[in-house]
Structure 1
């Protein structure tokens, strides 16, 4: 006898005292024979406004058409929101990027739980889509699977591959007269050739790779390009897997364990992934009821070498992993064989990670994209958790070693990103400076906007090895250079970063994991005396609610603290 798999939807479809609900379901096209089928919410972050998400509705339709062929499943397409980091970057709109993660999670929880859907197939694209979806699936904890929208193809101009960061860095090069106005325009026009998430190991690809290693995606989902046949095939076969998950009652909390979380983080760190990984995995672990803290990230970082020669710090893109390596599973298999990853973790296939990798080919090191563990780019990972008087509750550094591991310089302080951007573009930053951008944290920002513009301008201006940047904001996965973010406590909450003055000496030590303001305690006490927090920048609406409820960066910037 087959197991019933409509355990949630039957509370509506098989309840005789809900005639209006049944009438509405008939209006959607359901037949009486459909009422005993399991109902699947096909969630996508589709919207036409950016390349990361513009194709997700098409992928959702492929999934739905495939579900129609299943005798015991019904699919309903549902959209939730997205915010384009690339479009909003450097504008006031960027304040909504990280908060959108919570809205995504809230909206998915709301529609799935209220309508009693039995399972979820989620199709995220841009950066905050993926953790937002994952947080919702853990809250709901019913059979679920994620299909990544896929990475964008590279642009091409003047003999060089391009991606989104190329357009940011081009402005710095134009200001230095290294490229002409015509070249500048051509780089912008050709950086993003079509649909898909930003192509380097930026936040979207970082999180997708991590969630595949964690077991919440089918093998190859994170590295199959957005417009590839592989992605279409994945969408066609995905109903087979959601049905298996329903039949065996395999839920996200069965898959997301301490070991599987470590698998995701280890893979992301090996590949040189985004610092946003920290914020998102703190929240994911919390919803999975797994104790996981900043110190755990540092422990992993100390153990894991950097082997991915991928943008922003390297030169290759996710499409190169697909074309020249054979996909993320090839790297996962290598790390499994080398004892880096745990192979006994359950995945959405119903099999363990090791079982999924059984027929995956071994990696060929006759390429420059992925290095062997015994000859890594860096002996330990690029993400460092820094403590010190500037960040007694922690901060996140992205130190690949290319810019060195120690920086000591004079502070030049800005109370907004806009001020810093103008100073960099107007060539007012001298080598040896530590740029301080403050009042851009979760509360002060609000929303902890990313500082991709200033870091890209720094790199484009040729200052990458000559200056550092620290902030209580965060960084895009596309940021690189000697940068430290997530400084906690933030300036708006009275953290020491609020009291730094121009000319103060700051030391960033990537070896001993410290960040220090070299000012005597007595002087710091004087500066703090009589300090009054600036007025909040927002007085109503969603961002106001976010400011009033959000936790610190060191706690994952969650709005439902528990």
Structure 2
């Protein structure tokens, strides 16, 4: 149903006199006909294209497809760039700049004459940053993901990003040469697109589809598949109608939508990074979501998608097997089927006719690939505000474990000592990495899945309990406890752990405890001093002062909530 609400863009292009002249005249120097300013919905295409963000390097083509769709539907497309975060290149970590990029998006949308927005995002942090920024303005918004690259082939085997960790271990043991390592690079990243497995990029694409922010099948269409262009063009058509209907983000991002996303994430074995990004999005749109909700709503959802790193296959296989709608249909008995999506239909209606073409890829609730999936949230004196673990990527025998701590104070300390033959560590040890959280790194880097010491790899050990206040790549795996809150740099208990302390983990009971008395911890706290990062200027200084802890989404405290799209002052 068409909404009669006046178009926001007419506050610019519909003006008479000097202001209207200036707004229209300088746009016309691009060859735009005058009738484009006569009350057509103006659609902003927010593009994270960059040659420094390889996952998004094909977005110029996708933007052209979106423009076609917008024009076909009677809209006026305008493409604009925002800060692009290339996960594979940015130092010290792309996560440090997620909030900065979200501010760029928010202010770019609010400050300009757009009535609706299409977000082009793919690489890990580009999706949450764009959605976070758009939530703060709350216009009609539709997301298009860049799509996964096709699976790689090397020496007769299918490979993807999760194999990077396996290759690294094999290289450390001398099982593959540097020449083979380089050869595998080209074999793995052989097409455009983001990681071919269920890493964070694919998890984010799945998240936006499960939230209802994209058209059905957005998550899994490979970047190299022409159908990625088709869905972009169809999205361009649809966003124009969304503006006419005034179907804003806040009407789609209900509490039920967030619960759906958590359940779908469990079924597909999504990244632990999902937690920190969904919490931040909820904080921007004003939905009350907390870390325990991730445990609650995923606890009884088994693994249905047989995709690496929790399974065996790749994102393109999921698409050929029916895509995300096929997985959602399997969850019809437990999700909120009535939650509205960007196409105006409910998530249940969008998956009603979905079919599963390969039961080796998409299982049923009655006969899943793994009984435990989703996100487990553990708490105890070592993580009073919670820490997260991904059961589907962990070793079952280590889900209940007690061991002595082997402590690394910083990531530099870890790199310096991990392969030292004199390091006192065995397969029962618990590796602890401090000062890699939001404030401590700063930026909360993906270093939580610490590599196994070489001397243990040589004994055939490939997993150990690892604990940190950092994150890990969604392509990673292992019994890794992450996002410990409060972090070490903020004075959390993690900062007080010493070599030889006993640590007990019980994922089934959701507990994580440091077996040290409160009296002893009190004494240690008297001698504790935070790291001096020697950062006193610019964005990073702002970030350290205002970033919230992981259990709150690591957003900036001053960015919570919506501020709307109103701009009341003219600039001339």
TM-score (ref. length: structure 1): 0.93
Q: Identify the residue that residue 308 of structure 1 maps to in structure 2.
A: 305
Q: Of 353, 372, 377, which residue of structure 2 is paired with 1:380? A: 372
Q: Identify the residue that residue 325 of structure 2 maps to in structure 1.
A: 329
- CA gap of 1:223–1:462, structure 2 versus 1, over 3 A, is farther
How far does residue 297 in structure 1 lie from its aligned partner after superposition? 1.1
Q: Identify the residue that residue 141 of structure 2 maps to in structure 1.
A: 144
In 1, Cα distance between the equivalents of 2:453 and 2:71? 50
Structure-to-structure mapping, 1:110-509, within 5 angstroms = 110-323=107-320, 325-336=321-332, 339-361=333-355, 363-364=356-357, 367-400=359-392, 402-404=395-397, 405-426=399-420, 428=423, 429-451=425-447, 454-455=450-451, 466-509=463-506
**Larger deviation: 325-334 or 251-260?**
325-334
How far does residue 316 in structure 1 lie from its aligned partner after superposition? 1.2
- CA gap of 1:171–1:5, structure 2 versus 1, over 3 A, is same
How far does residue 84 in structure 1 lie from its aligned partner after superposition? 2.3
In 1, Cα distance between the equivalents of 2:97 and 2:431? 28
- CA gap of 1:460–1:543, structure 2 versus 1, over 3 A, is farther
In 2, Cα distance between the equivalents of 1:222 and 1:432? 39
* 1:270 and 1:304 in contact (8 A); partners too: yes
How far does residue 328 in structure 1 lie from its aligned partner after superposition? 1.1
Q: Identify the residue that residue 58 of structure 1 maps to in structure 2.
A: 61
How far does residue 490 in structure 1 lie from its aligned partner after superposition? 0.8
**Secondary structure, aligned partner of 1:430:** coil
Q: Of 501, 522, 531, which residue of structure 2 is paired with 1:525? A: 522
In 2, Cα distance between the equivalents of 1:68 and 1:290? 34
1:75 aligns to 2:68 (yes or no):
no
Q: Identify the residue that residue 551 of structure 2 maps to in structure 1.
A: 554
**Larger deviation: 341-350 or 79-88?**
79-88
**Secondary structure, aligned partner of 1:393:** strand
- CA gap of 1:216–1:358, structure 2 versus 1, over 3 A, is same
- CA gap of 1:69–1:130, structure 2 versus 1, over 3 A, is same
How far does residue 254 in structure 1 lie from its aligned partner after superposition? 0.7
- CA gap of 1:467–1:380, structure 2 versus 1, over 3 A, is closer
How far does residue 403 in structure 1 lie from its aligned partner after superposition? 4.0
* 1:125 and 1:197 in contact (8 A); partners too: yes
In 2, Cα distance between the equivalents of 1:114 and 1:484? 41
Q: Identify the residue that residue 14 of structure 1 maps to in structure 2.
A: 14
* 1:278 and 1:556 in contact (8 A); partners too: yes
- CA gap of 1:407–1:86, structure 2 versus 1, over 3 A, is farther
How far does residue 259 in structure 1 lie from its aligned partner after superposition? 0.8
How far does residue 465 in structure 1 lie from its aligned partner after superposition? 5.3
How far does residue 10 in structure 1 lie from its aligned partner after superposition? 0.1
**Larger deviation: 532-541 or 74-83?**
532-541
In 1, Cα distance between the equivalents of 2:330 and 2:453? 37
Q: What 5-or-longer segments of structure 1 have no aligned partner?
A: none
In 1, Cα distance between the equivalents of 2:249 and 2:453? 41
**Larger deviation: 234-243 or 142-151?**
234-243
In 1, Cα distance between the equivalents of 2:92 and 2:5? 41
How far does residue 213 in structure 1 lie from its aligned partner after superposition? 1.5
- The Cα offsets for residues 239-268 of structure 1, whole Å up to 9 and x where unpaired, read as 221122112111111111111111111111
Q: What 5-or-longer segments of structure 2 have no aligned partner?
A: 561-572
How far does residue 185 in structure 1 lie from its aligned partner after superposition? 2.6
**Secondary structure, aligned partner of 1:392:** strand
**Secondary structure, aligned partner of 1:387:** strand
- CA gap of 1:356–1:9, structure 2 versus 1, over 3 A, is same
**Secondary structure, aligned partner of 1:98:** helix
How far does residue 62 in structure 1 lie from its aligned partner after superposition? 1.8
- The Cα offsets for residues 366-421 of structure 1, whole Å up to 9 and x where unpaired, read as 53223321122333324111111111111111222534211221111112223324
In 2, Cα distance between the equivalents of 1:455 and 1:249? 50
**Secondary structure, aligned partner of 2:36:** helix
In 2, Cα distance between the equivalents of 1:464 and 1:382? 25
- CA gap of 1:465–1:510, structure 2 versus 1, over 3 A, is farther
Count of residues in correspondence between the two structures: 551
- The Cα offsets for residues 319-344 of structure 1, whole Å up to 9 and x where unpaired, read as 11012x121111112211xx122111
How far does residue 290 in structure 1 lie from its aligned partner after superposition? 1.3
Q: CA RMSD in A?
A: 2.2
TM-score (ref. length: structure 2): 0.91
**Secondary structure, aligned partner of 2:299:** helix
* 1:412 and 1:435 in contact (8 A); partners too: yes
- The Cα offsets for residues 156-209 of structure 1, whole Å up to 9 and x where unpaired, read as 101111122323431221121222333323223322112111111111111211
